[in-house]
Amino acid sequence: MSTPAASFLSSSPTDLSRAAELLRTGHCVALPTETVYGLAADALNLAALAQVFTIKGRPLLDPLIVHVLDQAALAEVAEPDARLAALASFWPGPLTVVLRRKACVPDLVTAGQATVAVRIPAHPVFRDVLRLSGRPLAAPSANPFGYVSPTKAVHVSDSLGARCPWIVEGGACTHGVESTILDLSVAGRARLLRPGPVTHEALQAELGPIEVVTRAASQQAAQAAPGMLDRHYSPATRVQLFARGATPPTASGKVARLLLARRPDLPAGPTDFYLSEQGSAEEGARHLFDLLRQLDTRGFDLIQAELAEASGIGVAYNDRLTRAAAR
């Protein structure tokens, strides 16, 4: 990891105006969202977009999510779709929708595809910067490609260091896992590409049946959404999973246990770490990436991590842990 050398901005009006001005003049700025921190750039500025890929070490074939203030701003970058009206209650919030793109959106954003991913974030800091900059902002998670996403400002400087020159401090992210991605780019078909805080059930209640395509079925699908790659969101330390409430397998070496909550049925070990007080998957998801990052710096040979029940945000929590454990 490189030495932190980024400049931090606060969420004061003066600093947010500064962040907006930096973005308007083609710089990249890391910003908090309610899911994870994003590395933002003007979505219509090619030089600024190119910097995002360089800073993250991200393949150019991996398209970016465009963040906008509201559905009116969304209509400037994506073709309208009647189904969006049914999604109004999820926005602003942790939902990304893939739609047919408008011609103004650069190929660098879409990886040359005919579609663009768009999200209306809820975080007040991100929204202030959108308003002040007056630009649509492309923002991938602010981490090196393939590594664990950042849920605190310090995670951005820890892993991107001087490569990311500006970071707005906005506290810890509420959800802690990336937005749900719903593909509506084909008429009459809805597909869930990445589970997230907005659940499959909640979306189906509004839209009817939605196909789940979160495991990359083919190389082509993996290119369209690398978040679908089997191995992604991964710490350097090996991760081994065990089912909720199960006894972790016997393992040798220096082993950390990452548990959803205290387990009266297991003798507590000196290297047990707890993601939540009561075992809630919401709290587990909120702290997951922070704890994975902390454990990754402590010289463990293995992190044994407890899965959540596969409902609600537990689906997204399990998805990220499964990809972190893939080799």
Residues that bind Mg ion (CB under 5 A): 141
Residue carrying the six token digits 């929204």: 127
Report, in Å, the least distance between residue 35 CB and ligand TXA.
3
Q: Indicate which of Mg ion, ligand TXA, none lies near residue 36 (CB less than 5 to 8 Å, by partner kind).
A: ligand TXA
Contact call for residues 35 and 196 (beta carbons, < 8 A): yes
**259 strand-pairing partners:** 274
68 or 325: CB nearest ligand TXA: 68
C-alpha distance from residue 88 to each of 27, 92, 120, 227 (Å): 31, 8, 10, 25
Binds 325: which of Mg ion, ligand TXA, none (CB < 5-8 Å by kind): none
CA distances from 247 to 42, 68, 268 (A): 48, 45, 12
Q: Examine residue 241 and tell whether it contacts ligand TXA (CB under 6 A).
A: no
With CA atoms as reference, report the closest residue to 229 among 218, 239, 237, 240: 218
- For the bound state, the minimum distance from the C-beta of residue 242 to ligand TXA, rounded and expressed in Å, comes to 27
Q: How many CB atoms lie within 10 A of CB 228?
A: 20
Q: How far is the CB of 185 from ligand TXA (least distance, A)?
A: 7
Cα–Cα–Cα angle for 19, 148, 250, rounded to 5 degrees: 160
Q: How many CB atoms neighbour CB 307 within 10 A?
A: 20
176 binds ligand TXA (CB under 6 A): no
Candidate segments 9-17, 56-64, 270-278, 285-293, binder of ligand TXA by CB under 6 A: 56-64
Please classify residue 84 by burial: count the beta carbons closer than 10 Å to its beta carbon, then call 0-12 exposed, 13-18 middle and 19+ buried. Answer: middle
Q: From CA 301, how far away is CA 234, in angstroms rounded?
A: 14
Residue whose beta carbon is closest to Mg ion: 141
Q: Tokens for 87?
A: 């999604």
Residue 200, SS3 per DSSP = helix
Q: How far is the CB of 289 from Mg ion (least distance, A)?
A: 11
Q: Out of 6, 19, 20, 38, point to the residue binding ligand TXA (CB under 6 A).
A: 38
Binding to ligand TXA (CB under 6 A) within 295-324 occurs at none
* Count of chain residues binding ligand TXA (CB under 6 A): 27
Binding mask 183-202 for ligand TXA (x = CB under 6 A): ----------x---------
CB closer to ligand TXA, 224 vs 321? 224
What DSSP state is assigned to residue 227? G
Pick 197 or 279: Cβ nearer ligand TXA: 197
Which one, 20 or 139, has the nearer CB to Mg ion? 139
Quick one: what does residue 176 bind among ligand TXA, Mg ion, none, with the CB cut-off 5 to 8 Å set by partner type?
none
Residue bearing tokens 């209509």? 75
List residues binding ligand TXA (CB under 6 A).
33, 35-36, 38, 62-65, 96, 98, 110, 113, 115-117, 119, 139-141, 178-179, 181, 193, 224-227
